[in-house]
Amino acid sequence: METDVTEQRLHAHELLDILPAEKVNQVLNLLEEMVPDSNLSLADRLARADVDDEEITPEMAARLDRARASAERGDTISHEEVLREFGLDLFCPTRTRSEIIQPSRKSLVPR
């Protein structure tokens, strides 16, 4: 069975080699549609993703402007601070700090 697939792939390559240049892009598009996304790298999947065409409302634009201005002023919170605020651990964000306390020492696991 594997030999049959190998022969089919070789035949496909032979056909691509003799395909007129103006049709190569059409075949490439067809093959890209046939390949499951799970076999593609993240960069390739993002490149193939549809463009987000959701309209930005004036209210959303104002919120984005305020967020950008806040970031430019340095009014940001680090990832570690957010985790700490919610009582989560940096190395295992799904576990709370109380879940990683060592019973014998009653202190947090050192980082």
Sequence ranges of the domains in the chain: 2-48, 77-111
Contact 63, 71 (CB under 8 A): no
- Residues facing residue 107 across a β-bridge: 102
With cut-offs at 50, 70 and 90, classify the pLDDT of residue 98. low
pTM confidence score: 0.34
d(CA 28, CA 22): 11
Tokens of 85: 């605020």
With cut-offs at 50, 70 and 90, classify the pLDDT of residue 28. confident
Tokens of 87: 């009582």
Give how far Cα 92 sits from Cα of 84, 100, 101, Å.
Answer: 12, 9, 13
